[in-house]
């Protein structure tokens, strides 16, 4: 049996193999965020054959203020559960497990949502015109409301039948903005050193765990380095990952921070391995590595090298829905 084919056991989220389809935004939901037929058809096509161990659904917004764009799926109220249950059912019928990613956009650039004011850890200006403020600093009362929004979203994901929920703290969205010293310039308990910058994360994890119970799988996607001067570094992320594991996270999904899902100047298979490997060496929960893998043998080599426990393959599966089936035949 190859490394890619090997099951992941034990743990709260056992998987039949080490292949993950990472969350990739499609903008295929209905304008109000409800699951559309187009979204069902997309995930049906990608998961058909059951060759993917875990399918992580693209980021669902947890509140209207946390919405990134029209067409983004929603987990912001109980009326969304019925459609999300159909989505989980499609993937289960195809033979894969699935987790729902939950997110708040914060002050990240996104479409203007009518009536929605963008908020962030600190005031945020437009990148091209600093005179334009695109997000204002959150009050302590607004920060205090965030864990409850994530917890309610996680409860809905569980009610819809997903096998787990993934908290999004990457790619420049709200929790990642708190983690990065470039976007978090607060001087209160939520800013300063890495322990202050993950205070909200730990409150979110605690609230989510309380909402879903001790046995339900909770994942966290971490933007483990910004690759920008003065930004977050892998040393910060090792500290954070250890704290997240202690708080009850079952799996850590490694990607980029403010730089997004790319590592500037790099395109080799597993280009975030320099982040995933030290984190994997520090924690005992499984670690997912995504980025640059286009062939099964590349995933095999990364797993053999011990830089991660699972490999996410995004763009190759996006381009070729049969990629996973071929990978399992060739692995």
- What would the two tokens of residue 325 be? 């089936």
- What would the two tokens of residue 5 be? 């084919």
DSSP string, 106-174: TTS--PPPTT---EESS-EE-SS-TTSEEEEEPPHHHHHHHHHHHHHHHHHHHHTT-SEEEEEE-TTSH
CB 291 within 8 A of CB 261: yes
Give the number of other CB atoms < 10 A from CB of residue 141.
Answer: 7
Work out the angle between the directed axes of helices 81-93 and 140-159 (0-180°, nearest 10). 50
Residue 177, SS3? helix
Could you tell me which residues are beta bridge partners of residue 137?
Answer: 120
Cα separation, 118 vs 66, whole angstroms? 8
Distance between first and last Cα of the chain: 8
Residue 42 annotated in active site: no
Cα separation, 74 vs 65, whole angstroms? 12
Cα 317 to Cα 75, 127, 247, 290: the distances in Å are: 25, 32, 33, 12
Cα separation, 207 vs 327, whole angstroms? 38
Give the number of other CB atoms < 10 A from CB of residue 30.
Answer: 16
DSSP string, 76-109: SSGGGHHHHHHHHHHHHHTT-EEEEEEE--TTS-
The single residue of 173, 190, 261, 271 carrying the catalytic annotation is 173
Going by the DSSP 8-state scheme, the letter that residue 24 receives in this structure is -
Active centre residues (catalytic): 173
């Amino acid at each position: 049996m190859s490394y890619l084919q090997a099951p992941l056991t034990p743990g709260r989220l056992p998987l039949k193999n080490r292949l993950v389809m990472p969350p990739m935004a499609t903008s295929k939901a209905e304008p109000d965020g409800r699951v559309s037929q187009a979204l069902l058809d997309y995930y049906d096509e990608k998961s058909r054959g059951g060759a993917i161990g875990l399918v992580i659904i693209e980021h669902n917004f947890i509140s209207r203020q946390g919405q990134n764009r029209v067409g983004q799926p929603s987990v912001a109220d109980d009326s969304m559960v019925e459609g999300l249950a159909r989505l989980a059912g499609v993937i289960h019928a195809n033979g894969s497990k699935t987790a729902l990613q939950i997110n708040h956009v914060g002050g990240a650039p996104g479409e203007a949502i009518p009536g929605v004011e963008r908020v962030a850890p600190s005031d945020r200006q437009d990148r091209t015109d600093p005179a334009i403020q695109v997000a204002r600093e959150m009050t302590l009362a607004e920060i205090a409301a965030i864990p409850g929004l994530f917890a309610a979203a996680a409860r809905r994901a569980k009610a819809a039948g997903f096998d787990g929920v993934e908290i999004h703290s990457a790619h420049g969205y709200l929790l990642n903005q708190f983690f990065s010293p470039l976007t978090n310039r607060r001087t209160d308990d939520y800013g300063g050193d890495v322990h202050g910058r993950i205070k909200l994360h730990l409150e979110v994890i605690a609230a989510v765990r309380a909402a879903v119970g001790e046995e339900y799988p909770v994942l966290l996607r971490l933007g483990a380095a910004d690759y920008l001067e003065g930004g977050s570094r892998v040393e910060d992320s090792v500290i954070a990952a250890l704290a997240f594991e202690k708080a009850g996270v079952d799996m850590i999904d490694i990607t980029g921070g403010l730089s997004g899902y790319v590592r500037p100047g790099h395109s080799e298979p597993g280009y975030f391995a320099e982040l995933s490997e030290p984190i994997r060496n520090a924690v005992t929960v499984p670690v997912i590595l995504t980025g640059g893998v286009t062939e099964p043998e590349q995933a095999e080599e990364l797993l053999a090298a011990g830089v991660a426990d699972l490999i996410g393959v995004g763009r190759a599966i996006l381009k070729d829905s049969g990629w996973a089936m071929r990978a399992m035949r060739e692995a």
